[in-house]
Amino acid sequence: ISRNTLVSDITKIYAQEKEKLKQVLASIQNRICLTSDVWTACTTEGYICLTGHFVDENWKLNSKILSFAHMPPPHSGVELAAKLFEFLKEWGIEKKVFSLTLDNASSNDNMQDILKEQLSLHNSLLCDGEFFHIRCSAHILNLIVQEGLKVATAALNKIRESVKYVKGSESRMKKFEECVVAVGGIDTSISLRLDVSTRWNSTYLMLESAIKYKKAFASLQLNDRNYKYCPSSEEWLRGEKICEFLEPFYDTTNLISGSSYPTSNMYFMQVWKIEVLLKENLFNEDVVVGDMCKRMKEKFDKYWSQYSTVLAFGAILDPRIKLSMLNYFYSKVESDPLKCQEKMSLVKRKLYKLFEQYTSVKETSSQPQSPSTTLPQMNNEGGFKRKGKRIFDEIKEYESQTITNAGKSHLDLYLEEPKLEFAYYEDLDVLGYWMSNKHRFPTLAVMACDVLAIPITTVASESAFSIGARVLTKYRSCTLPENVQALICTRNWLHGYVNGNLLTNYFFVLTYSIYWNFDFHLFFYLNVDNEDGVGIKTNLSCEGSNILEVVDEVEGTNERAIEMA
């Protein structure tokens, strides 16, 4: 089999799956939220990724890679905006965009301004694009913590050097294990973590792993003359305080950057929790922790002084929060009651503005049927359905008329209802709630779908780049950009964001399946046991041949498959 034949077959699968996804995007009545980012491959070629996030007809949140295309320089705002608009027209969703989530690069700010103008010219955005641009929360959180750690770096130097020293050789690790046992430790499977200067969460993990062995480090100082970095009691205490302080930031990062992308109702509470934590520790008794908080609060105010209004809507559309809990959140971080009320009034005013936009769009799109063209319907017995209204129709009309006469919208009714208590609905599926109430609040349910689907980070694009690094490597760097897009997008449409290690296995089996038989059926299914271990089981059923099964673990090799081939 030639490589051209293989490329042709993969391209056919790509075209088929793309057409299926196009039909799905065209059929849903709600809008689509986007994330985008730019990546430089090992070949120094630039790639741009566009992902779409939407709630499907089953009320499940979906995240799909729409494009993973070559992006030649320059990567200016004008060029990026033109490329993204081209993608939107290609997918036929230029009139269905709700938001675009980007990191804080200056070119992205320029790009979203230009793209917003282009979409606004076609009346494609709600409220003139007021809620279009969303900043990546994970990126902002990273900037905030990095700013604080600039103060703490020197204070943690001895702990960092101690971990580095022990992990420097096998003999040191063995001697350290003996020290752990000597001071009363039972588990000798040492789990020290090295610190990486470019990743603040590695600093937290390093502290968390080292603190529980502080007695063993003291013992190592007595048994190893070359070890000269043992922290004092005060330095260990400071390390414990910094570790405790960083823990909420670490938990928040894991939540918003996990593989199961959260709905946007989680955003507000996480940002609020961080602001409360910073305010509480501004005057911490530990000078280093206090200085960290001051620098982090300055960075926080730069990016998050005003929480993103549209994502505050996500909290309101969570039936456990609504306006009452939002008011409580604001009162905890705002000492002046007048400022608290100003914030609440602003959010409420913009919420009603967005809802009115959805209401007007629905009224415009609904086309009443002309009475003259309405034909009587036949029932199963061949007669005509009764024209008189049933009793339930009359009841529904009466209820609707009562609400209209009272001057209340569905948003008013939703906000007036008592909120659900967290004590009983801690694990509530918010999208499931709106699916159950879509008949009560039809327009509001559509708006809730769009708001809750907003991605609060660009993690989806980063995941695509991780997969891209598996496709383009120093050993396989000549793949054409259009083939890279076909591989990455098709894999995402078939299997979602599973472990990147599966990519090689997937197309390895595809190659050999084409080789084995011209007329074949190819079936792939995945067993995902946990986040760390993902296994692939491939069932290849070829016409007129025996059934061949290849089972390969992610961290294993393809030796068995090669042998069978």
- Element (H or E) spanning 67, and its range? strand 61-70
Q: What is the pLDDT of residue 366?
A: 53
Query: Cα separation of 396 and 244, whole Å?
Result: 56
Strand 520-528 to 534-542 pairing: antiparallel
For the segment 260-270, the average pLDDT, to the nearest whole number, is 77
Give the highest mean pLDDT range of 387-401, 473-487, 491-505: 473-487
pLDDT at 260: 58
Distance CA 133, CA 137 (A): 12
- Helix orientation angle between 157-166 and 200-211, rounded to the nearest 10 degrees: 70
- In this structure, the strands spanning 61-70 and 133-135 are unpaired
Is the distance from CB of 69 to CB of 48 less than 8 angstroms?
Answer: yes
Phi-psi region at 278: left, alpha or beta (left = phi > 0; alpha = psi -120 to 50): alpha
pLDDT at 477: 85
pLDDT at 398 over 80: no
Q: What is the pLDDT of residue 467?
A: 83
Enumerate long-range contacts of 333-337, CB under 8 Å, 24 or more apart: 333/272, 333/275, 333/276, 333/279
For residues 163 and 210, is the Cβ–Cβ distance under 8 A?
yes
CB 464, CB 488: distance < 8 Å: yes
Of 51, 9, 31, the closest CA to residue 462 belongs to: 51
Helix (H, G, I), strand (E, B) or coil at 403: helix
pLDDT at 310: 82
Checking if the pLDDT of 530 tops 70, the result is no
Which one-letter amino acid corresponds to residue 314?
G
CB-based contacts of 20, cutoff 8 Å, min separation 6: 493
Beta bridge partners of residue 133, listed in sequence order: 100
pLDDT value of residue 255: 80
| Angstrom distance (rounded) from CA 263 to CA 268 | 11
User: What's the pLDDT score for residue 464?
Assistant: 85
Among 29-33, 49-53, 393-397, 502-506, the minimum mean pLDDT is found in: 502-506
**Residue 542 backbone phi and psi in degrees, to 5:** -105, 140
pLDDT tens-digit readout, 351-364 = 999 999 999 876 66
- At 168-198, the pLDDT tens digits run 999 999 999 889 888 876 665 778 888 877 7
The 520-528 sheet, strands edge to edge: 520-528, 534-542, 548-553
Share of the chain above pLDDT 90, in %: 41
The structure's pTM equals 0.77
In the sheet where 46-55 sits, what is the strand order?
61-70, 46-55, 32-40, 97-102, 133-135
| Alpha-helix residue ranges (DSSP H) falling in 122-198 | 137-152, 157-166, 170-182
The answer to whether 192 touches 268, Cβ cutoff 8 Å, is no
* Cα–Cα distance, 518 to 513 (Å, whole number): 9
- For residues 33 and 35, give the distance between their C-alpha atoms in angstroms, rounded to a whole number: 7
Beta strands 97-102 and 133-135 are: parallel
> What average pLDDT does the structure give for the chain?
80
Continuous segment of H or E residues that includes residue 267: helix 265-280
- For residues 402 and 110, the model is more confident at 110
Check residue 18 and give its pLDDT.
Answer: 96
Three-state DSSP at 511 gives: helix
pLDDT tens profile 439-456: 999 999 999 999 999 988
> What are the φ/ψ torsions at residue 374 (nearest 5 degrees)?
-80, 125
Q: How far is it, in rounded angstroms, from Cα 171 to Cα 557? A: 31
Q: What is the pLDDT of residue 187?
A: 61
Alpha carbon 9 to its chain centroid, in Å, reads 32
For residue 221, is pLDDT > 60? yes
| Amino acid identity at 504 | T
The DSSP element (H or E) to which 131 belongs, if any, is none
Q: What's the pLDDT at 512?
A: 42
Task: List alpha helices for 155-232, DSSP H.
Answer: 157-166, 170-182, 200-211, 214-223
Q: What is the pLDDT of residue 210?
A: 92
* DSSP H or E run through 540: strand 534-542
Q: In which region does residue 487 sit, left (phi positive, over 0), alpha (psi from -120 to 50) or beta (all else)? A: alpha
Question: What are the structure tokens assigned to 127, written together?
Answer: 């409220």
pLDDT of residue 390 exceeding 80, the answer is no
User: Quick check: 79 and 108 in contact, CB under 8 A?
Assistant: no
Contact 357, 126 (CB under 8 A): yes
Of the candidate ranges 135-149, 258-272, 438-452, 550-564, the one whose mean pLDDT is the lowest:
550-564
| Residue 67 · residue 485 · CB < 8 Å | yes
Phi, psi angle pair for 225, to nearest 5°? -70, -25
Please give the helix or strand (H or E) that residue 537 lies within, else none: strand 534-542
pLDDT by residue (tens digit) across 246-258? Answer: 998 998 888 877 6
CB distance 454 to 446 below 8 Å: no
Does residue 231 have a pLDDT over 70?
yes
- Provide the 10 A C-beta neighbour count for residue 94: 17
Indicate if the pLDDT at residue 485 is higher than 80: yes
Name the helix (H) or strand (E) containing 246. helix 233-256
Residues 6+ apart with CB under 8 A from 433: 319
- Residue 312 pLDDT exceeds 80: yes
pLDDT of the residue at 12: 95
Question: Distance (Å, rounded) from C-alpha 38 to C-alpha 26?
Answer: 27
pLDDT in tens, 550-564: 333 333 334 434 344
d(CA 358, CA 446): 8
DSSP sequence for 300-333: HHHHHSS--HHHHHHHHTSTTTHHHHHHHHHHHH
Q: What is the mean pLDDT of residues 492-511?
A: 60
